[in-house]
A and B are shown apart, each in its own frame.
Chain A
Amino acid sequence: GENVEQHPSTLSVQEGDSAVIKCTYSDSASNYFPWYKQELGKRPQLIIDIRSNVGEKKDQRIAVTLNKTAKHFSLHITETQPEDSAVYFCAATSYDKVIFGPGTSLSVIP
């Protein structure tokens, strides 16, 4: 079955710096890659997603890249702000089955 790895597990950055989170997946049939943000005590919420026919997608300060050949995808957050502090989960989806990575705890230091 699908296996999703995510690195780093924790990340601290200074406000205004960039943050990068990387994921790898194993199932070549996966074709949809969402990223979820979960604030403490809250539910996961989608922040950006990318499908396998696209290599890069950007939405304001966040961007995602996908390398299907290498089975890698990454989340980039620029100009980080304290409210970006949360746990971020990547996921890989194959035929509606979603497998989440273990999460990255991001701390943005003011």
Chain B
Amino acid sequence: DAGVIQSPRHEVTEMGQEVTLRCKPISGHNSLFWYRQTMMRGLELLIYFNNNVPIDDSGMPEDRFSAKMPNASFSTLKIQPSEPRDSAVYFCASSPLRSGSGNEQFFGPGTRLTVL
């Protein structure tokens, strides 16, 4: 298994532009998580899905952020319009679903986003 795949690995864009980050979870994993990591705020959970359904998006910072999971093998995180303060490393992670209890999360390599 190739593990969790994220693309792009690096993204540099200008303020106001739309940014789309992509994630392919490990096959057979039912849960998918999006995190943002910065020096100031650490590792923040933005949203997570179970069986393609968004369960908790309370970590999504603003309406400019949206996430979708149209099927079990693909998810996107979109920022529109982007702002310099969105600059961070965005990680996607997947996990086998274990009802009512957590399980190991497997992280992707991350997307380093820079908004100028």
Contacts and interface: CB of A to CB of B under 8 A. Distances in A.
Nearest to A45: B107
Contact-residue size bin, chain A (C-beta under 8 Å from the other chain)? 20 to 34
Interface string A67-110: 00000000000000000000001000111111111110000000
Contacts of A96: 31, 48, 50, 55, 95, 97-98, 101-102
Given A99-B45, A100-B42, A100-B43, A43 B102 contact: no
A102 B41 CA distance: 8
Interface in B44-99: 44-45, 48, 50, 55-56, 58, 91, 95, 97-98
Nearest to B33: A98
A34 B95 CA distance: 13
